[in-house]
Structure 1
Amino acid sequence: MMRRTRTRPTRSRAAVLATTGALAMLALAGCSSPAPQEAEPSPAAPSQGADSDTNTPEPSASTTDTPSTADPTCENIIPQATADDFTSLGWTYQKEDFRVGATALEGGIQCKWGDTKIASDRVQIFGWAPIDDDEARTAQKDLVAAGWKVEKDATGTYVTENPDWLNGRGAEGYGLTYFFGDGYVKLADTRQSLILVEGPR
């Protein structure tokens, strides 16, 4: 009977066996160690969707739904910077009721800015008044009957002095001009100056 000779493993085979044994021990150690605890979920970042504005203050009704209730003055119906410029020139103002023809509009004001220390026609006129639709139609009708000219665009109705009356006054053929907007009317000594009349702030 032939005797089986036991051969010794080669160095490479021994290395493989050692590595395999080490991996087995690590696997056993992993099974016996406690399972890692789940990390508590971090607070979710605020959603940027439709519900993200729940913590945002709603605009107050005073700034969105309710028109300004401030009383008009000669200083608050034009930009503050413009009023400051007039004052720096030594100009003051004279105020009176806002009138369309002979009709005074309640709650309105008309102002004439200029240097009252010298006799000069170098003045600026601004006015603003609240007005309803019926009053606006009547005022426009009265002005047209007196010879004023009407022009309309997408923003409202302009009623301006007849160019034949200007005698060199005004700018680009426009002198005193009323602008009828939505619930208000404003006045300036030229149509271009209407941009300075903002209403009470």
Structure 2
Amino acid sequence: MHASRILGTAATLLLTAVVLTACAGSPEAAPEETAPEAAPTTAAPEPTSTAEPEPTSTEDPTCETLIAATVVAEFEGVGWTAQESPLYIGSTEIEDGLQCMWADFEGPAGDHGMMFGWAPLEESKAGDVQDELISQGWVREESADGVYITESPDTVIAPDDEGYGMTYHFTDGEVTFAGTKQGLLLIEWPKA
């Protein structure tokens, strides 16, 4: 009897192993595994879509969007407002350019204020306006992130900590401007 029980148990185990092996190799298991893989492929294009940033980058800048919102809040907190005007480089008005002067225009006249500017700029035109500035005594500095043209140290009225006054920063396809070279760091246009 002992032997028949062992044989019965062995037969049950063998039958269970055969059924499990047959189920594991069944084609029904494969679609279940591939179905979850198909879902991320469908969802993946949505996060990488650039549909949302495009409207932001194609909007025209304003004095309030050209610089960081925190900087705008600080300026407004001390009573400053912005006056918008076209951006000029030397004698050339830059098409689609913007220049902003932030100051307290309601208060007494003074020398407190900050200027910022931005414009799209073709490389051929960039070379022409740079040449004009240099002919007027401005100084050219090349760096890994573009070309800086800054007013002559002899004529700077309100320099930054490094001695720079009004400065243009020319990069591929655009130009930024600030009342000091350090002021360029406050410009956040185009928005990412």
Task: State the TM-score bracket (shorter-chain normalisation).
Answer: 0.7 to 0.9
Return 5+ residue gaps in structure 1 as ranges: 1-17
Give TM-score, length-normalised by structure 1: 0.76
Residue 3 of structure 2 aligns with which residue?
A: 20
Fraction of identical pairs, as percent: 37
Return the index of the structure with the highest Cα Rg.
1
Matches within 5 A, 1:60-99: 60-62=49-51, 68-99=57-88
In the TM superposition, what whole-angstrom CA distance separates every residue of 1:33-67 from its partner, at most 9, and x where no partner exists? 9x74737527216459xxx6454115335468899
* Counterpart check, 1:146 vs 2:136: yes
SS for the counterpart of 2:168 is: strand
* Counterpart check, 1:196 vs 2:186: yes
Q: Which structure 1 residue ranges, 4+ long, deviate > 3 Å from structure 2?
A: 24-33, 45-48, 52-55, 58-67, 167-171
Residue 56 of structure 1 aligns with which residue?
A: 44
Measured after TM superposition, the shift of residue 158 of structure 1 is: 0.2
Q: Return the structure number with greater helix share.
A: 2
- Whether the 8 Å contact between 2:160 and 2:182 is mirrored in structure 1 is no
Out of 118, 123, 129, the position equivalent to 1:133 is 123
- Whether the 8 Å contact between 1:171 and 1:190 is mirrored in structure 2 is no
Out of 136, 143, 163, the position equivalent to 2:153 is 163
2:81 maps to amino acid? T
In the TM superposition, what whole-angstrom CA distance separates every residue of 1:161-198 from its partner, at most 9, and x where no partner exists? 10011245443210000000111111001101101112
Give TM-score, length-normalised by structure 2: 0.79
Cα distance in 2 for partners of 1:132, 1:32 equals 79
Cα distance in 2 for partners of 1:138, 1:85 equals 36
